[in-house]
Structure 1
Amino acid sequence: MPSPHTPSASMASQQPPVPISITICGDGGCGKSSITLRLVRSQWTSEYDPTIEDSYSITRRIDGIVYHLSLTDTAGQEEYRGMWASSNLGADAFLLVYDITSRDSLDALTYFNDLIDMEAETRLDNAARARRAGLSPSSPTSPSSYDGGAGSGAKTIPPVKIVAGNKCDLQESRQVPAAIGLEWARRRGCGFMETSARLEVNIEETFALIVRRVVEGRRLAEMGVTDAEANMNSRGMTKPLTPLPPGSDDEKGSRGPGARGPNILNGGRVGRGGGGFWRKLRCW
């Protein structure tokens, strides 16, 4: 068996982080900044301070590989949306956030989704031109989706889209059933999660899902799959994720190491019925 200190293992450990850019969008007040700050700083605040635009960088190890995530937390207010459209369409992935206590916030995602779909069409056109020129979308001499930054005109791999129904701890005020959010996402080719920035439910899991789908999209492009977006949107691409890891609560209601989210067995029940809401929900 090779030693963990063999040259190949050493080279793998010295590989630079893989860059992935993510734009977070949605209506004002839906919790975009709260989700971002939960991921970046493990912080949460109940005060609402409208964001014009903030950028963050973090690294995460997912499936044994280190990724450098460039996050752009964008404005949701209508008066700033023109700025959003001109500067943030170059991302590898988009997290579309709505508030489960506001149906209007889900409807507002249509605006952002339409912009992202137009960007996806541009990238598919770029990929087609690259193929006609005899180039692979991932070739060093052709445009690449690995490029970061605001420019999107040279990218060739369609962006990943994930919908997040935030504030899922506010069950008494829910206006958007999970099934409605899931159906909205599926009809538009998006992955789906429900999150709570306040209780730190599905925050890390959502970004891990984004990373895995971006990696899969790049892999398909390298294989020469022409309709990468359609393949990415297949239901079987990602296994369902449970918001609470198995065994995170023992029989006495104590928390296991690394457990996140509401302590269901110790008075932190979310929803009604046997086992609570989270025991039934699966996210795609």
Structure 2
Amino acid sequence: MDDNSRITITVCGDGGCGKSSITLRLVRSQWTHEYDPTIEDSYSVTRTIDGQNYFLMLTDTAGQEEYRGLWAASNLKSDAFLLVYDITNPHSLDGLDYFIEMIDMEEESRIDQGGVPPVRIVAGNKCDLQSQRQIKSPQGLEWARKRKCGFMETSAREMVNIEETFALLVRRVVEARRIAANGGAAAMPTRTAALPPMNEKDTVSSNAPPEKNGDGAPKQSFWKRLRCW
């Protein structure tokens, strides 16, 4: 597999927001309700998106403040960042500011060196817990837009928009590389905001079988098609 097919993704956010659950859902199609604070874990998985095979290398990073000093410089060299918050925790969205500041500095460095700026998407996780929601979708969307990020709402528990979110990350990385190759990263006027939003044609081929209800029919979810930007 050539270098263009390799995409590195760092998953970051406050502790307890579901970073590991999202990652494990993608990699192993598993979900666990037990919370075990992550220091740093690495995974790899292959996905076919738009007929092309991609080798995704994911780093699931620590969310607790006491571990943030362990953030390796290599994490900031990723092609893309998935910034996760918990829709039931009103403080978890503001907790992403720390990571945004670091990514902003990395982006400026890459642009100065003529490199490809990193892609970033914000994911409001645990959207299945509607009765406990503290952060409304428009609030998360507006936060993401102000910081030039894409936006999705996900549920690791119900497998909502997990594959779709990573497919969007891949597509935006591919587009960022194309733009850089055709004119340089400096030609991108508004960072990843210049890249196209996901639309109804966005699909992903997954090796993971769809979840089913008790009657054997594929499980559907009200939030499955939630694609804000």
TM-score range, shorter chain: 0.7 to 0.9
Change (3 A) 1:201 1:167: same
| Displacement after TM superposition at 1:278 (Å) | 3.0
Equivalent residues in 2 for 1:15-94, closer than 5 Å: 18-84=5-71, 86-94=73-81
Runs (4+) off by over 6 Å: 14-17
The one of 220, 226, 229 equivalent to 1:263 is 220
Q: Which amino acid is the alignment partner of residue 188 of structure 2? A: A
Give yes or no for contact 1:54–1:73 (8 Å, CA) kept in 2: yes
Q: Which runs of 5+ in 1 are unaligned?
A: 1-13, 128-155, 257-261, 265-276
Partners of 2:43 and 2:58 within 8 A in 1: yes
**Residues 154-173 of structure 1: matches in 2 within 5 Å?**
156-173=115-132
CA deviation vs aligned residue, 1:225-253 (integer Å, no higher than 9, x gap): 4233626313x712335999xxx9xxxx9
Q: Name the CA distance, whole Å, in 2 between partners of 1:111 and 1:85.
A: 15
State the TM-score, normalized to the length of structure 2.
0.87
1:174 alignment counterpart? 133
| In 2: Cα distance, 1:237 partner to 1:48 partner | 35
List per-residue Cα deviations over 1:15-48 (Å, max 9, x = no partner).
6871000000000000000000000000000000
Instruction: Give the direction of change, closer, same or farther, for the CA distance of 1:159–1:216 in structure 2 (3 Å limit).
Output: same
After superposition, the CA RMSD in angstroms is 2.6
Identity of aligned residues (%): 63
CA distance in 2, matches of 1:233, 1:282: 16
* Residues 9 and 56 in structure 2, CA contact (< 8 A), matched pair in contact too: yes
Amino acid corresponding to residue 62 of structure 2 in structure 1: A
Letter in 2 for 1:233: A
Query: Distance between the aligned counterparts of 1:220 and 1:242, measured in 2?
Result: 21
The answer to whether the Cα contact below 8 Å between 1:38 and 1:200 also exists between their aligned partners in 2 is yes
Q: Are 1:197 and 2:142 counterparts?
A: no
Structure 1 residues 36 and 219 mapped into 2: Cα distance closer, same or farther (>3 Å)? same
Question: Does the aligned pair in 2 maintain the 1:158–1:229 contact within 8 Å?
Answer: no
Residue 88 of structure 1: how far off its partner (Å)? 1.1
- When normalised by structure 1's length, the TM-score is 0.71
Higher RCO (C-alpha 8 Å, min separation 6) = 2
Residue 188 of structure 2 corresponds to which residue in structure 1? 228
Structure 2 contact 124–152 (Cα < 8 Å) conserved: yes
Change (3 A) 1:86 1:80: farther
Check the 8 A contact 1:35/1:197 in 2, yes or no. Answer: yes
1:184 paired to 2:143: yes
Q: Do the aligned residues in 2 keep the contact of 1:157 with 1:228 (CA within 8 Å)?
A: no
> Which residue of the partner structure matches residue 149 of structure 1?
none
For these two proteins, the number of residue pairs brought into alignment is 219
Rounded Cα–Cα distance in structure 2 between residues aligned with 1:209 and 1:48: 27
Distance in 2 of aligned mates of 1:25 and 1:279: 22
- Report if aligned partners of 1:201, 1:243 keep a CA contact under 8 Å in 2: no
Cα pair 1:217 1:229 within 8 Å, conserved: no
